[in-house]
Amino acid sequence: MNGPHDLGGQMGFGAVSPEPDEPYFHADWEKRALGITLSCGAFGAWTIDESRHARESIPPATYLSASYYEIWIRALEVLLERHGFVSMAELATGRKLAEPATPKRVLTADLVGGVLAKGGPCDRPVDEPPRFVVGQDVRTKNFNPVTHTRLPRYARDKLGRIEAIQGSFVYPDDNAHGAGENPQWVYTVVFDGPEIWGEGSDPMLSVSIDAWESYLEPV
């Protein structure tokens, strides 16, 4: 979907100013926010793609005024309520008012190290061979879905070239909405700077993205 999370190429937000020697956390509550989010994700009630969509669905004024981990917690509240683990009344009062849904699994302290080391691989086999080959010219599709997508606005309806075939992975546009994993081939597509940024851009600049096969059309 188009939303406040998709700022690539958008003007009016100032320069990106990396913080020298930035700490992992700026406050103790951010450590708790990360821990709570990972622990709740281990319930097995939603996918990483659904959680991403929950974050990008936060109203723009709220999203843009929130810090990184505030966004995580606001989205987590939506997911917990959606899947029956907490009610809005319980969030407002801070008290348990009814029996919650039962999680598929619980991440106990002794399991944390192994779970984090394992990660969440999303590569999946597909039966069909890749539709595109390295060096082939392609154009990204021009769409504006209200649902989740990993194709950013700045890279839509742009002419690029296949730079690499990365493998086959879960298709996030479906997986975010309970429509199944439906894996597809993923390609690295490289674009010239003027194709992305238009007249006056640095002709020596190039931009690469990883794009699922259904985002691409042959040229």
Check residue 9 and give its pLDDT.
80
Question: What is the band of 14 on the pLDDT scale with cuts at 50, 70, 90?
Answer: confident
**Per-residue pLDDT tens over the stretch 105-163:** 999 999 999 999 999 999 999 999 999 999 999 999 999 999 999 999 999 999 999 99
Q: Is the pLDDT of residue 17 over 90?
A: no
CB 132 within 8 A of CB 70: no
Report the predicted TM-score, pTM, of the whole model to 2 decimal places.
0.92
Region of residue 114 (phi > 0: left; psi between -120 and 50: alpha; otherwise: beta): alpha
Domains of the chain: residue spans and CATH = 28-118 (1.10.472.20), 137-218 (2.30.30.50)
Q: State both tokens at 215.
A: 């985002």
The amino acid sitting at 30 is E
**Per-residue pLDDT tens over the stretch 37-73:** 999 999 999 999 999 999 999 999 999 999 999 999 9
**CA-CA distance, 53 to 179, in Å (whole number)?**
14
> How big is the chain by its Cα radius of gyration, in Å?
20
**CA-CA distance, 1 to 152, in Å (whole number)?**
9
**CA-CA distance, 162 to 160, in Å (whole number)?**
7
**CA-CA distance, 215 to 182, in Å (whole number)?**
14
Question: What is the band of 13 on the pLDDT scale with cuts at 50, 70, 90?
Answer: confident
